[in-house]
Amino acid sequence: MAVVKSDIEIARAATKKPVFEIGAKIGIAPEHLVPYGHDKAKLSAQFIRSKRGARDGKLVLVTAVSPTPAGEGKTTTTVGLGDGLNRIGKKAIVCIREASLGPCFGVKGGAAGGGYAQVIPMEDINLHFTGDFHAITAAHNLLAALIDNHVYWGNALNLDTRRVTWRRVMDMNDRALRDIASSLGGVANGFPRESGFDITVASEVMAILCLATDLQDLERRLGDIIIGYRFDKTAVYARDLKADKAMAVLLKDAMQPNLVQTLENNPAFVHGGPFANIAHGCNSVVATTTALKLADYVVTEAGFGADLGAEKFFNIKCRKAGLQPAAAVIVATVRAMKMHGGVAKDDLGLENVAAVKAGCANLGRHMENVRQFGVPVVVAINHFSADTDAEIETVKNFVAAHGAEAILCKHWALGSAGIEELAHKVVSLAESGSAQFSPLYEDELSLFDKIETVVKRIYRGAEADADASVREQLRQWEAAGYGHLPVCMAKTQYSFSTDPHLRGAPVNHVVHVREVRLSAGAGFVVAICGEIMTMPGLPKSPSAERIHLNAQGLIEGLF
Amino acid sequence: MAVVKSDIEIARAATKKPVFEIGAKIGIAPEHLVPYGHDKAKLSAQFIRSKRGARDGKLVLVTAVSPTPAGEGKTTTTVGLGDGLNRIGKKAIVCIREASLGPCFGVKGGAAGGGYAQVIPMEDINLHFTGDFHAITAAHNLLAALIDNHVYWGNALNLDTRRVTWRRVMDMNDRALRDIASSLGGVANGFPRESGFDITVASEVMAILCLATDLQDLERRLGDIIIGYRFDKTAVYARDLKADKAMAVLLKDAMQPNLVQTLENNPAFVHGGPFANIAHGCNSVVATTTALKLADYVVTEAGFGADLGAEKFFNIKCRKAGLQPAAAVIVATVRAMKMHGGVAKDDLGLENVAAVKAGCANLGRHMENVRQFGVPVVVAINHFSADTDAEIETVKNFVAAHGAEAILCKHWALGSAGIEELAHKVVSLAESGSAQFSPLYEDELSLFDKIETVVKRIYRGAEADADASVREQLRQWEAAGYGHLPVCMAKTQYSFSTDPHLRGAPVNHVVHVREVRLSAGAGFVVAICGEIMTMPGLPKSPSAERIHLNAQGLIEGLF
């Protein structure tokens, strides 16, 4: 067998084209691209406005089974399918999320695909890229500074400093900042209070940027952020602090989608990257809607498995942005099916057809779930070299028995040549016009009923459970006019239940809603079920210790 | 009189040229420029290396009298002089510092010059620019995260958490972060300790980036950073935490100088921006040394007045980078002379020749000081419309009596046409070969004697004073091998003394050294004399409340 090249070796060996050539492929004139280096560019706001009346291409969602330590390759498949569609003559654009810088220094690993299905320049995309996340950090922390400054100068708004919900953010894995006491050190530094930092991708500003349709909408949503409560429990908004407009200034460039290319020189928009637990986990609405104006096909992904990622893509992003997905690809691997069937990670190398068969229950559940939204599905089996024919057939047969098709995809090893069959299938599904998309629940349903709808119909739990205080909080928000918002479920991604160890397709579990949070600017109510970490830590031996510049000045150790 | 346009109106009315055209003027081929938009670019490391053997142009420092609330216009004069030299047929490049984002949201004001002597695009330069400061923030905070992470996972280095000197940074005016308690909230968040944030420009990483000669030197200096002390009082270095190489990766692009243009389409390098109190306050060595390879004249500035800025420029930057300044321009204004002569700010509009004459003592002191370094001086009187002929003549006569020339400059109102005379004078000074630059003290002098040398010969104090503990600390550092470092004085910029209200040219004061800090990576020992603020706060009505995007999507309220 040939020597397997690392992702970074493959990426470096690629023949990159100037970003202006990539833009030309989808009809963007050079004057509408703002370059960041020779291989990255932002689309001008003027160009995006000019396309408003154009006809939309077809939107394809790539989602996945419940993630396991075996890895599924959702971004890799998203990128591969984009290349595959271009290969068979369709004009296709890939839309994926930007990577968070902080986690790169914890555990080795990038977020730009892998093998022969990557977006490049991968080092840039995983580090500072075009500065969007830094701008989000700055805008978020400006609001935080204005809050404490307001209190310092007399607290005219009568803000209860114990009830300030707006924390600070940093794009770094730093557990020491999770809980802090600030404004220590005396009178000149303000009024001491408890606070803390989240990682930047968990910022509501990130979710807002990804759901805003343009700069005006962004500014309005920033103003709608609730930063805390007065002593009389009424909400204080970012607008009350006159912070919204300056925040929009800091986010002016970050709002514009970033154009890069795949290894096969096809266009990719990489823009935005909200958490997939306390936020909705999809790339920006602006990137997706703009791509739809420029291509026959737009291939995009959603975070985690379909129970979280696709559910939020449909119920939050598509609902709010008026998107009509034409088809969905569910990524599965033989290895993941084995783990869902009870095999331990160390035993994944051994053929185990029975475990694959058992684990397919997880896949079947996700297929049913996606179809509930009126979107036709196809399964992509992301090939690993140790997969046996019998195991692959088992997955194919399972999917066929459930009225769909599973297609073996070798894009990781072969690029677009390995994913042609899936591309054709996606086209036929999308062209069939069988999609009849609608969200799972109506805006008018009560907030708790929305939560319970997701619990029962997606997670297949017996019920949603919550303390009286949580239910009362939801009722208060309904009374305050927030009842029409969708819910954003924050739950472990590893199981349909709230127990991360419960793989496969559990039923009849109870989902306990521990806490609810109102993201009034983003426009959803977060239901937190279980422990959700919004500021990661670093491992004992972080990859930062090994990341370095080599003698040629190239980055090593990131991937 | 004509309506006076605002800086931003003038900047927007300018006809910008593509940055590749600006590069071509100084012999940089397009492939060696990495564009950030159409009007900003970074120089490639390869290009910089390729110029190593080239002949150097002449280096001109722009410094100033002791600053007053009246404003001196040092950056404006630096930019104006660059344009003036180009106007009279010299190939000249301006080298100035990048602006800090945080303070823009406090008090209105930019750092890109003013009137008809500005660098553009001024909004970008004052906000995110090419992301250098964000990269410095990330590198600084990665090291901080690795410190607490090391302690969390067992503290193998036996670090005394009470003696961690490395704080965190944010490019924001946020007094609430000056003093914090971190790692609160329980076992999972680490060991609680006291810490805090400085503003990014106060980071030692900023000083390092500005003094490093290339990426290898940067990495070495990052490794040399002392982050704290063990229980046995021995130093722990960033290198001990294996943080240095990953930090260099984050700073890879930030190390490259940024090319922009003046309003008259002449080249300007805007790169780096260390504090001028606890650091040396000059743009990067890489920008200055590269510019010298490309131009006949390089015009650069140093922070604050000449007692701080020029002293550090000569004793730290020039010493370490082997620079040989050919001439120095001292910027003075009639208004500043009046204030040094005792006039209150509200009375500046009234002619007061006697006060101008008295205040000139401050200017004279700075002239003498700069000449001590063997650098010939010329005085630029930055013209304000209310200046009277008699007042201007008073300054001219004073300077003439002290063996130099003062030239009235109207670049703010007229651009290069208003500063031709100064440009000619600078050329004649530089061409005369009269410069015989040498730093004020030898490397071999003891650290305290270096401090005292500056106090006596620059500040004209009677003596430097320090507690026994401070002197003992200096002796320990000398024993540890740091005795050869230059000293970096942190003192009020408003007076030669440590009393900011003592204007003019005081003598025989005592300068008390309150505290000393070792910046082992940057390569200097900081002597703190008086209160030095490293994290600013916001005013009661911060300019953030007024900064906004107008209907055309342009930024308003920044300037």
CA distance A124 to chain B (A): 10
Catalytic residue among B47, B275, B313, B384: B384
B246 touches chain A (CB under 8 A): yes
Q: Which of B45, B183, B545 sits opposite A176 (nearest CB)?
A: B183
pLDDT band at residue B7 using 50, 70 and 90 as cut-offs: confident
Q: Would you say B282 and B341 are in contact if contact means Cβ atoms under 8 Å apart?
A: no
CB contact under 8 A, A127 and B544: no
pLDDT at B70: 76
CA distance B125 to chain A (A): 13
Q: What angle do CA A219, B549, B38 make, to 5 degrees?
A: 115
Which residues in chain A are closer than 8 Å to B137, comparing Cβ atoms?
A: 134
Q: Please name which of A490, A479, A515 lies closest in space to residue A235, comparing C-alpha atoms.
A: A479
Containing A205, the helix (H) or strand (E) segment is: helix A204-211
Catalytic residue among B47, B166, B304, B398: B304
B229-262: per-residue pLDDT in tens?
Answer: 999 999 999 999 999 999 999 999 999 999 999 9
pLDDT band at residue B1 using 50, 70 and 90 as cut-offs: very low
- The yes-or-no verdict on residue B6 having pLDDT over 50 is yes
Q: Which residues contact A211 (CB under 8 A, 6 or more apart)?
A: A221, A280, A284, A285, A316, A317, A320, A321, A522, A523
A414 touches chain B (CB under 8 A): no
Task: Outline where B272-388 has alpha helix (H).
Answer: 285-294, 309-312, 319-321, 334-340, 353-372
A101 touches chain B (CB under 8 A): yes
CA distance B473 to chain A (A): 25
Q: How far is it, in rounded angstroms, from Cα A245 to Cα B470?
A: 47
Q: How far is it, in rounded angstroms, from Cα A357 to Cα B6?
A: 72
Percent above pLDDT 70 for chain B: 99
Which residues in chain B are closer than 8 Å to A36, comparing Cβ atoms?
A: 35-37
Which residues in chain B are closer than 8 Å to A547, comparing Cβ atoms?
A: 245-246, 249
A419 touches chain B (CB under 8 A): no
CA distance A65 to chain B (A): 30
CA distance B196 to chain A (A): 9
A69 labeled part of a ligand binding site:
yes
Catalytic residue among B99, B276, B326, B327: B276
What six digits make up the tokens of A434? 């069988």
B134-187: per-residue pLDDT in tens?
Answer: 999 999 999 999 999 999 999 999 999 999 999 999 999 999 999 999 999 999
Q: What angle do CA A199, A204, A209 make, to 5 degrees?
A: 110
Please tell me whether residue B158 adopts helix, strand or coil conformation.
Answer: coil
CB contact under 8 A, A142 and B105: yes
pLDDT at A1: 42
Which pTM value belongs to this model? 0.97
Other C-beta atoms within 10 Å of B162: how many?
10
Other C-beta atoms within 10 Å of B127: how many?
23
Report mean pLDDT in 10-residue bins for chain A, 559 residues: 76 94 97 96 96 96 93 93 98 97 85 92 94 98 98 98 98 98 98 98 98 97 98 96 98 98 98 95 98 98 95 98 98 96 94 97 98 98 96 98 98 97 98 96 98 97 96 96 97 93 93 96 96 94 96 88
Q: Which of B36, B188, B195 sits opposite A175 (nearest CB)?
A: B188
Which residues in chain A are closer than 8 Å to B227, comparing Cβ atoms?
A: none
Q: Which of A175, A549, A553 sits opposite B152 (nearest CB)?
A: A175
Please tell me whether residue B61 adopts helix, strand or coil conformation.
Answer: strand
Other C-beta atoms within 10 Å of B268: how many?
29
B71-110: per-residue pLDDT in tens?
Answer: 789 999 999 999 999 999 999 999 999 999 999 999 876 7
User: DSSP string spanning A474-518?
Assistant: HHHHIIIIITTSPEEEE--SS-SSS-TT--S---S-EEEE-EEEE
- Work out the average pLDDT over B26-32: 96
Other C-beta atoms within 10 Å of B177: how many?
30
A70 labeled part of a ligand binding site:
yes
CB contact under 8 A, B38 and A38: no
CB contact under 8 A, B181 and A180: yes
Q: How many Cβ contacts (< 8 angstroms) between chains A and B? A: 210
Which residues in chain A are closer than 8 Å to B251, comparing Cβ atoms?
A: none
CB contact under 8 A, B538 and A176: no
CB contact under 8 A, A249 and B101: no
Average pLDDT, chain B: 96
All structural domains of chain B, each given as residue ranges with its CATH number in brackets, are 7-130+257-432 (3.40.50.300), 133-251 (3.30.1510.10), 447-528 (3.10.410.10)
B374 touches chain A (CB under 8 A): no
How would you classify the pairing of strands B297-301 and B58-64? Answer: parallel
Nearest CA in chain A to B182: A180
Which residues in chain A are closer than 8 Å to B146, comparing Cβ atoms?
A: 538, 542, 544
A142 touches chain B (CB under 8 A): yes
pLDDT at A530: 86
Q: Is the ipTM of this complex over 0.90?
A: yes
